[in-house]
A and B are shown apart, each in its own frame.
Chain A
């Protein structure tokens, strides 16, 4: 009797698993956009707190350029940038969260690498910040270049590409080092500040942000060397090109808006001006297409015709987002540099809407 019950139990559990696994496998091939629309919100994976990129204040309001990318996607899909639920993720859990369907888009200062693009079942949708890994040292060490760091103790956090880059850099320069890898950024900062290690390494934008948290920010200097390329951008699951396009073109729309001089402040005025010209077959064709005044570019990716207008109106163009979160007027004081538009000698290049 007991045995038979046990057997039935095992089988029931087995069927339970089978039943549970079916929707999971179906979801990966299905439409993320449809799922997002039906649940009425976007689930966006962000960092656990990196000022300028994704950070929440005491009231739980998120801000940062990674956050604004998600808000842009929400504005494009719903016309409402607030319909986003942010999920804070550690560096090591981020890709699993995306793969498992817990979040719809990962916008968490993640580096676009070949391994991640080809082996993890995810795909990157663009680069919203061109970063590079840097090295920060206390000024008391008297070190001015990375070449003097032979034998240094280096603190970093696990679950990122930073330990890989610093290992590559030191190996290829024939220098020795000790790597002390923590799980979370906060502990790295605390251990470095206490003097456990000589060097703190992470993306230069991250170093700028962490330095602000120190008791004596002036006592630390970021060395000039950039030891790796760190193109940071949003990622989505593989196998859903429609959703990939939604995220990709949200970013391009923000870039194109800046290039065309459209900002959240003047977008209504420009749209009204151009709307009057459309019927006459005149006006700036690029602006008309971007703002949904001419042909419908939204329908092909499952978005409303005015998707790009909504992004610019509700969130802003790339330059606005940059200046508000990481630009020279913020505590991070990061110059545009490689993130300037291509027209200004930078790398940010929005693919044309046509």
Chain B
């Protein structure tokens, strides 16, 4: 993009040999001049847009500014992780609070969606390459069906399928499973909520210690393998350290964790029956539907990416691995997948970004995500431009962070050329 690129070979030497007076022909000076001029033009352009917008808003008697963020919103958000973390009950809340609630809810559904879509996508993608005709047929139908119908339709399908299913009891009833610790009805999925008791800190420290020890163990196992060629079962060691050790500490300290069950009332006025607010853990049906729809929809795309990635690895690689006596499992783990990931990761990043952005469809089924909170605030305050700017910045930040992380993973994975 710089002007010096026009004369790549002779530019610098000619500039050096020229007398200092003719700055006009110095490619470096010219390049700086044009870049500064462009920068000024771009800044002036945006400054003009802002100035023009505020002038027009004023001319049309429309209030503007960000002062509304401190006002009390005239709405309430359904209980979700966001309202729980922000602790919005029983205090005066502001528009800023409800936006934060939405932000947390969006993050929640995005993280859940990314994890589930990746797992389902990889499984379906491998099925697509299976020689088993049932697995192949199922995965093909899955991909073609979900990839070729609109996401909004799928969100409605899961939501109203969940609400209308005949085996889902109404708000006053429940269906229990897992030894009566989990329940569901039309208002959501209820589970026990963990309440740490004194002494639970020891278990958390044990988890941290386990993770640290695993890192050390992995380093030691690598060195030993390099030196002696002997392998160490890292996976089982890690399980023992990260799961086994904390479990042992937990039991030794006398199981300092109480599970608070969701409070279910069976009699009294009809309206008061059913699960009570503020007890146990709750997944609302809107979240479940959105989570399902987003992950299953995106998984169809990820499956195709995974299939393409695996097919991109030359068959000769597998044959060479077999010739060296490497087992089928290790061939997949050490030869095929690392090479496939190089093809998979860049398009996978786009799918992760899509999940976050598509989660803004939540408003259609009343899940209080960030965009739905923005929309409600927008309607109540009329500050369209301010709120849309906030929304754009938030989604941009999400996307940039995801991209940065995935680029980091990609740089770790990509072919290191010597």
Contact = CB atoms under 8 A, between A and B. Distances in A.
Given A151-B277, A163-B74, A183 B271 contact: no
Contact of A191 (B56, B163, B384): B163
Given A25-B56, A160-B379, A167 B74 contact: yes
A28 B379 contact: no
Contacts of B379: 91-92, 158-160
B185 to A, nearest CB: 9
A295 B210 CA distance: 94
Interface stretch (B60-68, B321-329, B330-338): B60-68
Contacts of B37: 7
Contact of B42 (A10, A151, A237): A10
A195 B171 contact: yes
B285 A196 contact: yes
A180 interface: yes
Contacts of B239: none
B205 interface: no
A19 interface: no
Interface in A161-178: 163-164, 167-168, 176-178
B271 A184 contact: no
B366 A181 contact: yes
Contact of B363 (A11, A21, A158): A158
A119 B271 contact: no
A296 B382 CA distance: 40
Contacts of A245: none
Given A21-B52, A167-B76, A194-B186, A180 B366 contact: yes
A180 B378 contact: no
Nearest to B79: A178
A1 B61 contact: no
Contacts of A14: 41, 45, 48
Interface stretch (A139-147, A251-259, A266-274, A308-316): A139-147
Contact of A6 (B38, B61, B170, B271): B38
Contact of B74 (A151, A159, A164): A164
Interface residues of B, number: 56
Contact of A11 (B34, B41, B272, B366): B41
B164 interface: yes
B2, B269, B285, B379: most-surrounded residue (chain A CB, <10 A): B379
Counting chain A residues whose Cβ lies within 8 A of the other chain, the interface size class is 35 or more
A149 B271 contact: yes
A176 B49 contact: no
B171 A182 contact: no
A99 B63 CA distance: 13
Nearest to B171: A195
Contacts of B34: 3-4, 7
B367 to A, nearest CB: 9
Given A4-B34, A21-B52, A119-B62, A182 B1 contact: no
B349 interface: no
Contacts of A148: 269, 271
B375 A153 contact: no
Contacts of B62: 99, 119-121
A115 interface: yes
Nearest to B383: A119
Contacts of B160: 190, 194
A115 B379 CA distance: 10
A87 B3 CA distance: 52
B60 A177 contact: no
Contacts of A239: 60-61
Contact of A196 (B74, B163, B382): B163
Given A2-B1, A10-B38, A25-B56, A141 B74 contact: no
B270 A163 contact: no
A24 B164 CA distance: 48
B187 interface: yes
A95 interface: yes
Nearest to A28: B60
Contacts of A150: 271
A28 B59 contact: yes
A198 interface: yes
B120 interface: no
A121 B60 contact: yes
Given A3-B3, A179-B76, A194-B186, 5 more contacts: A13-B45, A95-B382, A148-B271, A190-B163, A196-B186
15 contacts: A6-B38, A7-B34, A7-B38, A21-B52, A25-B56, A95-B382, A116-B382, A142-B269, A143-B271, A148-B269, A151-B272, A167-B74, A180-B286, A181-B368, A191-B163
